[in-house]
Amino acid sequence: MYGLKQAAILAYQQLIKVLAQYGYSPIVGTVGLWQHIKRPIKFCLCVDDFGIKYYSKQDVDHLLSAIGSNYQYTTDWSGSNYCGLNIDWHYDDGYVDISMQNYVQKTLQRLLHTPKTTPQYSPHEPINIQYAKKNTTQYATSPDTSQLLNQKDTKYIQSVTGSFLYYGRAIDYTILPTINDIASEQANPTINTKQKAQILMDYLHTYPNAYLRYHASDMILHIDSDAAYLVAPKARSRVAGYFHLSDHPSVTKHPKLNGAILVECKTLRHVVSSAAEAETGGVFHNAQVAIPIHTILKALHHPQPPTPLKTDNSTANGFIHDNIHQKRSKSWDMNYHWLRDRNTQQQFKFFWDKGSNNNGDYYTKKHPTKHHRATRPKYVKDRL
């Protein structure tokens, strides 16, 4: 029934019953990953798209036969499309490119966007650097007091965030902090919110052909965690995490940076009392997000050592390893004691490294335009 809110779960439950007759079942602890009871075949189900990993044609024919017993389907043996993503395989060269061809152009056209005559190299309003500033006290972000938008413009703002959120989470991670800002205001957007949306669309018009490149690796999960204190309204802080698959930490101390499989960019719901608490909150959030990814990688036959998780805050690192004398951190001791338990269990390997080596830093705060232009090629590629 079209529009029935229970349609997705009913269809999923029906699929479980249908495929169970042929030995297929969801893998516990994962979302959308399935396996066969005997055959070494696995597939990832997203809505009605099956991404299948198989070792023999006989195994995949068995799966297609099971699906075809109750459903109609089409196949793409090249593996070039999945969930709206264009996949360009380069097996001989050891890499694969992921993109969403023409998505930005078509979406901007649908949103009736009129671009600026000059390129927009920053996804947000440019930040001016203040050199030699002696007062470094951090204050909560001032509330937005500009005029509220009418209902029509409010729906337009919501359409902008809805249209580019998937694109930001799948391809162009550089827009996530701006999307995070706009989405937090979309219920009651203001003139300033509309200006943010305009700048975002100008930025996407400047970089319409982004893609991610993944190089062959040991498939070991690495995480860079960072946080920015008091950068969001109502004294909130933002946390970010850069998740990528690279070489085994026993092979090299500094594994090469690979395309991100996930970038977390979230606003902490509670108000933290210090930058160190925000950083520890970021580590806590990213470590919890890593648990199902850890399970998925193991299910796909990629054994994982203790997951390296990097932070650039020495206080947060000391708190996790329980080698600092606590005083003011008592207020957040219970919330993040989970990290110490996971460290003791050797599920993670928490360590400190300087901020310039932390890839999560880019996604926690607003940077000057010069920094965006210099840093963007490190995380996202662009076709001319």
d(CA 235, CA 227): 14
* Per-residue pLDDT band at 125 (split at 50, 70, 90): confident
Q: Which amino acid is at 118?
A: T
pLDDT for the residue 199: 95
| Residues in the chain, overall count | 384
Kindly write down the DSSP assignment for every residue of 222-288, as one continuous string.
Answer: EEEEEEEEEEEBTTEEEEEEEEEEE--TTT-SSPPP--EEEEEEEE-SSPPSSHHHHHHHHHHHHHH
pLDDT for the residue 310: 95
Q: What residue segments make up the domains of the chain, in order of their start?
A: 7-75, 80-384
The pLDDT tens digits for 278-333 are 999 999 999 999 999 999 999 999 999 999 999 999 988 998 888 877 665 666 66
Has residue 377 got a pLDDT over 90? yes
pLDDT for the residue 128: 63
pLDDT for the residue 340: 87
Choosing among 3.30.420.10, 3.40.190.10, 3.40.1440.10, 3.40.720.10, the CATH entry for 80-384 is 3.30.420.10
Mean pLDDT of the chain: 90
pLDDT for the residue 251: 83
Burial readout 13-41 (b: 16 or more C-beta within 10 A, e: otherwise): eebeeebeebebebbeebebbbbbeebeb
How many Å separate Cα 233 from the centre of its chain? 22
Has residue 132 got a pLDDT over 70? no
* Per-residue pLDDT band at 334 (split at 50, 70, 90): low
Q: Which amino acid is at 58?
A: Q
Which tokens sit at 20?
């169970």
pLDDT for the residue 333: 66
Q: What mean pLDDT is predicted for residues 54-81?
A: 94
The pLDDT tens digits for 187-232 are 899 999 999 999 999 999 999 999 999 999 999 999 999 999 988 8
Has residue 274 got a pLDDT over 80? yes
The pLDDT tens digits for 75-110 are 999 999 999 999 999 999 999 999 999 999 999 999
pLDDT for the residue 175: 96
- pTM: predicted TM-score of the whole model, two decimal places: 0.92
- Helix or strand or coil: residue 2? coil
d(CA 88, CA 97): 5
